[in-house]
Structure 1
Amino acid sequence: MNATVALIAAGGVLFACGTVLLLARPLTRILLGAVLLGNGVNLLVLATSGRSGKAPLLSPGTDPAAVSDPFPQAMALTAIVITLALTAFLLAMAYRSWQLTGSDDVQDDVEDIRVALRAEHEGTRAELRTVIRADRARQARAEDSEDLDDELWDNVLGADR
């Protein structure tokens, strides 16, 4: 097994585990998921960045073809800094949540629940309104067809029939 394939597989596993942990409710799991996701992305970026080479320092006499690409390394370093900042923020948020409520679970917002119930109620009302309108239209068409037959003969034969 090639070393690059092993690094890509490890990065994929870290990415998948991080995604699963991000979908959990406790903030500590969300924190661990963000860290694993960041590390998995960094590993994938560095594993797929191309061949290894000399350090990207261009001094006199250095062959540019032998130098590795510095862009993936810069992106990984930037991602490490962003992951560190996100980790610090989530850690502070989890600590504050635990301090206030005694739990680090992410609670459902009452307003979100109310909006979801209202949307469900509006959807049910809209369906009922559509059924009632279709029923009324069907009844009106049935009444119009009965009236139309009488009016047609009155128009053709006149009022003397």
Structure 2
Amino acid sequence: MRALDLTMALVLGGLFATGVLLMLQRSLTRVLLGFILLGHGTNLLLLTTGGADPLPQAMALTAIVITFGVTTFLLALAYRSWRLSGHDEVRDDVEDRRIGTVRERADDEPALGVEEDAG
């Protein structure tokens, strides 16, 4: 393995790992940065593996356009959240919490039609 291949593999791994880590955060700004890092990592992967072949270059160009559109949308969502609530942190949905507590209570109850042995 050449030194350039190893370096590129480490850079790609770092971009993907950092992007995924940032996308798991609750702040929309961090999610946006994570998505940008994943987009850059994908483009670099396509260009690295493709070499001089025009098909991976066309796929990378398409990925750049798609990443730009989704980044613009996420930036608009983060800005709107900041303007409405003063922060960009995503809170839990009250309905999701209610459904989760109903499921926990249902798991604790015995199933219908199953009788426990009395002795």
TM-score relative to the length of structure 1:
0.67
Gap regions ≥5 residues in structure 1? 51-67, 143-161
Is the Cα–Cα contact under 8 Å of residues 11 and 40 in structure 1 kept in the other structure?
yes
Q: CA deviation at 1:12?
A: 1.5
Which amino acid in the other structure matches residue 85 of structure 2?
A: T
How many residues are treated as equivalent by the alignment?
A: 118
Bigger relative CO (Cα 8 Å, ≥ 6 apart)? 2
Gap regions ≥5 residues in structure 2? none
Question: What CA distance in whole angstroms lies between the structure 1 residues aligned with 2:36 and 2:98?
Answer: 33
Is the Cα–Cα contact under 8 Å of residues 34 and 87 in structure 1 kept in the other structure?
yes
The equivalent of 1:22 in structure 2 is 23
Question: What CA distance in whole angstroms lies between the structure 1 residues aligned with 2:15 and 2:84?
Answer: 32
Q: CA deviation at 1:129?
A: 4.1
The equivalent of 2:65 in structure 1 is 81
Helix, strand or coil for the counterpart of 2:115? helix
1:48 and 2:32 equivalent? no
Question: What CA distance in whole angstroms lies between the structure 1 residues aligned with 2:24 and 2:111?
Answer: 38
1:134 and 2:115 equivalent? yes
Which amino acid in the other structure matches residue 47 of structure 1?
A: T
Question: What CA distance in whole angstroms lies between the structure 1 residues aligned with 2:9 and 2:62?
Answer: 20
Q: CA deviation at 1:47?
A: 1.1
Matches of residues 11-160 of structure 1 in structure 2 within 5 Å?
11-50=12-51, 68-125=52-109, 128-129=110-111, 133-135=114-116, 138-139=117-118
Question: What CA distance in whole angstroms lies between the structure 2 residues aligned with 1:121 and 1:32?
Answer: 38
TM-score relative to the length of structure 2:
0.89
Q: CA deviation at 1:10?
A: 0.9
Is the Cα–Cα contact under 8 Å of residues 4 and 47 in structure 1 kept in the other structure?
no
Helix, strand or coil for the counterpart of 1:133? coil
Question: What CA distance in whole angstroms lies between the structure 2 residues aligned with 1:13 and 1:88?
Answer: 24
Is the Cα–Cα contact under 8 Å of residues 46 and 76 in structure 1 kept in the other structure?
yes
1:9 and 2:10 equivalent? yes
Larger CA Rg, structure 1 vs 2:
1
Question: What CA distance in whole angstroms lies between the structure 2 residues aligned with 1:102 and 1:113?
Answer: 23
